[in-house]
Structure 1
Amino acid sequence: MSNFSLDNIDHGILYALQRDARNTTTAEIAEEVEVSASTVRNRIEKLEQVGIIEGYYPKIDYELANFPLHVLFVCNANPMEREKLAAAAIEVQGVIDVREMLTSTRNLYIETVATDTRNLTTITNKLASMELEVLSSEIITSHHVRPWAEFEFQTPDFISD
């Protein structure tokens, strides 16, 4: 864990990037968090360097991209093997996201996309061959995200004498 400490400006920058990193300029963020655009660029660079910002990813409508089957597999993996199995699962063609959970069961969530049921069956069989117990598979119809409100910029309250 890093000793890097986030301040209110960093929070505001993260909030703006979560809201829409692709279509928000550093000048717009600067105006929102009440600093210069160069300060925003420097802060973003630092946030990337220390690993707080891990990357920028597009939000894809898989159905429009000709992958109409968007499925979440809820799996059980041996807790001692969970990290290794997660790393192997993300390499399976069609797997787009793997989340490790802290629980003893239902501890691996594997999000996949497929073109048709034959493609989905291939993915399912590959996952099942990996010492994973598939507990359920759920069709994802939509996914909604929002910026974490704790990062929303708040104008600092200054104490007057």
Structure 2
Amino acid sequence: MPHRDTDHRLDEVDRRILHALMGNARDTSASALGEEAGVSGATIRNRIHKLEDAGIIRGYTTQVDFERAGGRLTNLYLCDVPVTDREAMAHEARAIPGVINVRTLMTGRRNIHVLAVGEDTSDLRRIARRLTDIGIHIEDEDLLEEELHAPYGPFVPDDSAPEPEANDFISLTGNASVVEVAVQPEAPIAGMTLEAAAEQGILDEETLVIAIERGDRELTPHGDTVFQPDDIVTILSRAGDGTDALAVFRASPPGSTTE
């Protein structure tokens, strides 16, 4: 299957979204996920649209127990086709009535896996004949008993660990870094304009605000731009990892003061 070229780089918010959708897309709430990630529900919905546009989220499927849905049989065909014909034959196989999934492998034998559902064994034999008719060689087949799914482990948010200081971090040459951070409601900078934050020293001279993501909009920051809670701010810090700059976007711990 063709893949769309993309330079989309996943940050912590994206990974949380993907993990939640892979676990149970039907019951995933944008507002609840946003609360966990420290951003608004609108930002979560905007991120989902971007992941779809980038071809990272390729669709949403429903898992069906076909045995319970009328006693149907699910069969897996392990097939071999010439590499040059693999993509075309995969599309032809998908068009056969009863075929519900076609998986292609890059190299080697058994480079196409076809999953099909039939009402009985004669129905499955019909599907096998159709596969053979279009030039697909079936090397082996078997009835599928159970298929288990799980979200991709590295995307799981580690809520037992301290909250990361940034949604994303890129180290640049010259002791500089680009960081994404969400503005917390009680943060010192929340409600301030960019100009006021600079004049009052809330933002130091080593920190440059590059962009602001607000719900489904991306803003180009100006002097009169107001930082709002749940904004995702991209900053360029010329002072190493930007830890000091991030503090103004986070809520101050109880009993502490921000100078």
Category of TM-score, reference length = shorter chain:
over 0.9
Displacement after TM superposition at 1:157 (Å): 4.3
What's 1:72 paired with? 76
Q: How does 1:75-154 map to 2 (within 5 A)?
A: 75-154=79-158
What's 2:164 paired with? 156
For the aligned residue pairs, the C-alpha RMSD in angstroms reads 1.5
**Identical amino acids, percent of aligned pairs:** 34
Displacement after TM superposition at 1:67 (Å): 5.0
Letter of the structure 1 residue corresponding to residue 62 of structure 2: P
Secondary structure, counterpart of 2:127 in structure 1 = helix
- How far apart in 1 are the matches of 2:61 and 2:36? 23
Given the alignment, which residue of 19, 26, 30 partners 1:26?
30
Displacement after TM superposition at 1:21 (Å): 0.8
Structure 1 gaps, min length 5: none
Q: Deviations over 1:65-116 (max 9, x none)?
A: 2252101000010111111110100000010000111122110100001001
Secondary structure, counterpart of 1:80 in structure 2 = helix
Structure 2 gaps, min length 5: 167-240, 245-259
Q: TM-score, normalised by structure 2?
A: 0.59
What's 1:46 paired with? 50
- How far apart in 2 are the matches of 1:93 and 1:40? 37
- How far apart in 2 are the matches of 1:98 and 1:67? 22
Letter of the structure 1 residue corresponding to residue 75 of structure 2: V
What's 2:13 paired with? 9
Higher RCO, 1 or 2 (CA under 8 Å, sep at least 6)? 1
What's 1:57 paired with? 61
Number of positions where the alignment pairs a residue of Structure 1 with one of Structure 2: 161
Secondary structure, counterpart of 2:96 in structure 1 = coil
- How far apart in 2 are the matches of 1:59 and 1:104? 29
- How far apart in 1 are the matches of 2:88 and 2:155? 33
- How far apart in 2 are the matches of 1:4 and 1:90? 29
**For structure 1, which segment, 84-93 or 116-125, has the greater mean C-alpha deviation from structure 2 after superposition?**
116-125
Q: List structure 1 runs of 4+ shifted beyond 3 angstroms.
A: 157-161
- How far apart in 2 are the matches of 1:35 and 1:85? 44
Contact 1:69 1:115 in 2 (8 A): yes
Larger Rg: 2
